[in-house]
């Protein structure tokens, strides 16, 4: 499967929607991904956004909105807590605001993730 670059407009879209959220931004694959307590909760992936949601919210969201599916960055590699949000959903301000709030709440409820210590081998 060929890697498809995310649309450039997702960068300012995420920045605008997360400007008032106490979170950190990092780059992954050239695009912003946002973290709360070192727990990733939203980011860009190809044409979609991905969100981290609690199990109940994931089930409800997938049943309610067309096009939302489990986040599978590589075939056969589903990321357990994440769903992809297609453009037709994330451009609906009301829906996106609700889903973002659920994701922020869930990520904030998780214990802070410890940063992995780099091994001697990877410091080269």
How many whole angstroms separate alpha carbon 86 and alpha carbon 100? Answer: 14
Around Cβ 15, how many Cβ atoms within 10 Å?
Answer: 12
pLDDT at 121: 66
d(CA 24, CA 33): 8
Q: Which residues of the chain have a pLDDT value below 70?
A: 1-3, 119-124
- Asked if 52 contacts 40 with a C-beta cutoff of 8 angstroms, the reply is yes
pLDDT given at position 109: 96
Specify burial of residue 12 (Cβ count, 10 A radius: 0-12, 13-18, 19+). Answer: exposed
Q: What is 10-109's CATH topology?
A: 3.90.1150
What's the predicted TM-score (pTM) here?
0.86
- pLDDT of 48: 86
Q: Which residues of 47-59 are buried (b: 16+ CB within 10 A; e: fewer)?
A: ebbbbbbbeebbe
Q: For residue 124, what pLDDT is reported?
A: 53
pLDDT digits (tens, 9 = 90+) for 84-103: 999 999 999 999 999 999 99
Report the pLDDT value the prediction gives residue 17, as an integer from 0 to 100: 95
Domain boundaries of the chain, sorted by first residue: 10-109
């Amino acid at each position: 499967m060929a890697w498809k670059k995310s649309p450039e407009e997702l960068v300012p879209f995420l920045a605008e929607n997360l400007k008032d959220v106490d979170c950190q931004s990092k780059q992954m694959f050239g695009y912003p991904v946002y973290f709360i307590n070192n727990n990733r909760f939203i980011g860009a992936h190809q044409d979609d956004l991905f969100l981290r949601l609690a199990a109940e919210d994931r089930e409800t969201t997938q049943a309610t909105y067309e096009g939302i599916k489990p986040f599978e960055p590589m075939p056969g590699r589903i990321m357990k807590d994440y769903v992809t949000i297609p453009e037709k959903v994330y451009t609906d301000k009301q829906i996106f605001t609700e889903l973002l709030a659920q994701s922020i709440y869930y990520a904030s409820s998780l214990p802070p993730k410890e940063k992995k210590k780099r091994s001697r081998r990877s410091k080269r």
